[in-house]
């Protein structure tokens, strides 16, 4: 089964992940995270399956994150509220997000990809 690969083509980390997939002949379905931002419900599913706190889905080094003062907005936010904020703009989402429908990884770490996607 091909993986869903939520990415932003100008993102260096995403390019590394894509290169890793290509070098390891791992099939994936590219989803442009800004043009096709996941819905709140889709994000809630990804967060749940990742077993990570919802805060880990925020692109904390992004310009939009700082401009919109998201750090303050999510301090006491519920997972549901965080998913709602994330769904408003793909640039707020940490990337890449990879899922096979069961497992989810956020960001790119080679060891993590080897464990999950080989």
Domain range for 108: 3-117
**C-beta separation of 20 from 109 below 8 A:** no
**pLDDT one-digit tens code per residue, 20-76:** 999 999 999 999 999 999 999 999 999 999 999 999 999 999 999 999 999 999 999
Q: How far apart are CA 4 and CA 7, in angstroms?
A: 9
pLDDT band at residue 1 under the 50/70/90 scheme: low
Give the pLDDT confidence score for residue 53 in this predicted structure: 97
Q: What string of DSSP letters covers 47-116? A: HHHHTS-GGGGB-TTSHHHHHTTHHHHTTT--HHHHHHHHTT-GGGB-S-EEESSS-EEES--HHHHHHH
pLDDT of residue 12: 96
Contact 20, 108 (CB under 8 A): yes
Domain count, the chain: 1
- CB of 57 closer than 8 Å to CB of 47: yes
The DSSP 8-state label assigned to residue 93 in this structure reads B
Q: What was the pLDDT predicted at 2? A: 86
Rg of the chain in Å (alpha carbons): 14
Nearest CA to 58 out of 82, 41, 34, 88 is that of 82
pLDDT surpasses 70 at 99: yes
The CATH number of residue 105's host domain is 3.40.30.10
Angle ∠(43,108,15) on CA atoms, nearest 5: 100
pTM value is 0.94
């Amino acid at each position: 089964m091909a993986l869903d690969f939520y990415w932003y083509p100008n993102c260096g980390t995403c390019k590394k992940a894509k290169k890793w997939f290509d070098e390891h002949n791992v099939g994936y379905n590219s989803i442009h995270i800004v043009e096709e931002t996941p819905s709140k419900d889709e994000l809630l599913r990804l967060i749940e399956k990742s077993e990570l706190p919802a805060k880990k889905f925020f692109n904390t080094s992004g310009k939009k994150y700082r401009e919109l003062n998201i750090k303050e907005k999510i301090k006491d936010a519920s997972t549901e509220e965080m998913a709602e904020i994330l769904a408003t703009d793909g640039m707020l989402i940490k990337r890449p997000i990879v899922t096979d429908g069961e497992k989810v990884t956020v960001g790119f770490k080679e060891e993590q990809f080897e464990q999950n996607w080989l």
